[in-house]
Amino acid sequence: MVNENEGSKGEFFVSRIDRSVADNLNDIRTSFGDDAGVVKDFIVFVSKNMKRDLFGYTKFTLQDFCKETGRNRQDLAKRHPYFVSNPKAVVPEYHGHQFVSVFDYSLFLMLQRNIIFAKTYTVNTKDEVIQLENFPILKDIKLNMDRASNTVKIYEIRISDQWMDGFISRYYTLETNGYRMIGKGRGGDGRKSLYLILQRTRHQCLSQNQTIARFSVDYLAHLAEVDVEENRFRKRAVKRMLDLFLQKDAMPFSYRFVKADRAKVNQEEYWVEINFAPSSQIPPVAEDHGDHVFYNSLVRDLKKRFKLMYSDVVIEDEKDHFQRWLTNHKVDLDVKVDVLIAAYNKAYSAQMTKIQAKQYIRQGGLIS
């Protein structure tokens, strides 16, 4: 059960990231260019919101986004460089809002484009083999002004079906507080990509009762967007990043550089050996036993109840009726409470009271 203490150094929040995204980070860069960093942050941000508040993840402010990703609000609120360089370019307008800032235009691109995979991504499930050629991100975006201040924009989104499916069944676990800490400053987008790959590999290793993985320095440097020619400088840049991760307590691991196996042909000269044993010794860095069953059962059973009650309902300008219903705390609260209590009991063999269930739906966070 998750009851994270969100804070600074040494504290962890275990979220999730879709496997097809984490395994194809370079394709985000190819699909979105200079906006890839914001796109990547957005996927991590919303996935964390889903883990923390499944009944309220669709609404957020720019300040919320910056707090969780380490980005500067002023940088995201500026006019997007594309419109600065092309003053005559037509600014996209959607639902009466002009998407002209760095953040808003990146959101608009996520509505218009998918992450296109360089090669078909295969997912083996219990029942079938799924072939994915792309990853849709958003179905819809709406913006409202906060009634209290009349100045703060509140974003409301609808994520893709593929994203929702991945969240409950096709994911790697991801410690997200460290992600925020290592992203600030020059080179932050590259460091975040490196961090995601290490988190992905940690998940893979520990799920197979292994602790050690090896990467070529060239691979990590390319992933981290280190653009230098000499091997020794790439090695030095990767070392700085790994040392920063350890300094920030972003994730527990140890590492050492090793030479290539000369018996193997065409190997890169330098390799990094990452040891995730320290991560396996700290329980908070792993998802709690039962979380997979909980979220899977909760979402699937809520969808079943929704379809039984509202299969014929059509709401104008609504792209996903289920997500609208899921995040509306005033509608069918008793139905959602019953489903939540049943999923909680199934996953953790523990009881949740109706008062606790209502608190979870309205505020988020599991009861420990």
Tens digits of residue pLDDT in 17-55: 999 999 999 999 999 999 999 999 999 999 999 999 999
Closest C-alpha to 154, from 231, 79, 58: 58
Question: pLDDT-derived band of residue 312, with 50, 70 and 90 as boundaries?
Answer: confident
- How confident is the model at residue 75, as a pLDDT? 95
Residue range 237-281, pLDDT digits in tens: 999 999 999 998 888 899 999 987 766 666 677 899 999 988 766
Please check whether residue 10 lies inside any domain of the structure. Answer: no
| Contact between residue 305 and residue 335 where contact means Cβ atoms under 8 Å apart | yes
- How confident is the model at residue 282, as a pLDDT? 60
* Same domain as 225, residue 165: no
Please check whether residue 4 lies inside any domain of the structure. Answer: no
Q: Which domain, by its residues, includes 332?
A: 291-363
Domain end, chosen from 285, 308, 323, is at 285
Please check whether residue 12 lies inside any domain of the structure. Answer: no
Please check whether residue 154 lies inside any domain of the structure. Answer: yes
Please check whether residue 13 lies inside any domain of the structure. Answer: no
Question: In the predicted model, is pLDDT for residue 366 greater than 70?
Answer: no
Count up the domains in the chain and report the number: 3
* Same domain as 300, residue 167: no
Question: In the predicted model, is pLDDT for residue 2 greater than 50?
Answer: no
Q: Which long-range contacts (CB under 8 A, 24 or more apart) does 354-361 make?
A: 358/333, 360/55, 361/55, 361/329, 361/333, 361/336, 361/337
Q: Which amino acid is at 225?
A: E
Cα–Cα distance between 5 and 14 in angstroms, integer?
Answer: 11
Higher pLDDT pick, 60 / 11: 60
The whole-number average pLDDT for the span 344-363 is 95
Q: Phi and psi for 185 in degrees, rounded to 5?
A: 95, 180
Domain end, chosen from 285, 311, 345, is at 285
Domain end, chosen from 179, 203, 228, is at 179
Question: In the predicted model, is pLDDT for residue 284 greater than 60?
Answer: no
The pTM assigned to this predicted structure is: 0.92
* Same domain as 173, residue 209: no
Tokens 């993985």: give the residue: 213
* Same domain as 157, residue 32: yes
Spell out a b/e string for 106-123, using b for 16 or more CB atoms within 10 Å of the CB, else e.
Answer: bbbbbbebbbebeeebee
**Three-point CA angle 183, 189, 195, nearest 5°:** 65
Burial of 305 (0-12, 13-18, 19+ CB in 10 A): middle
Question: How does the average pLDDT of the chain come out, rounded?
Answer: 90
The whole-number average pLDDT for the span 343-367 is 91
Question: pLDDT-derived band of residue 229, with 50, 70 and 90 as boundaries?
Answer: confident
Structure tokens at 367: 């009861």
- How confident is the model at residue 210, as a pLDDT? 92
* Same domain as 172, residue 46: yes
Please check whether residue 3 lies inside any domain of the structure. Answer: no
The whole-number average pLDDT for the span 183-200 is 92
Structure tokens at 90: 């037509």
* Same domain as 323, residue 229: no
* Same domain as 48, residue 26: yes
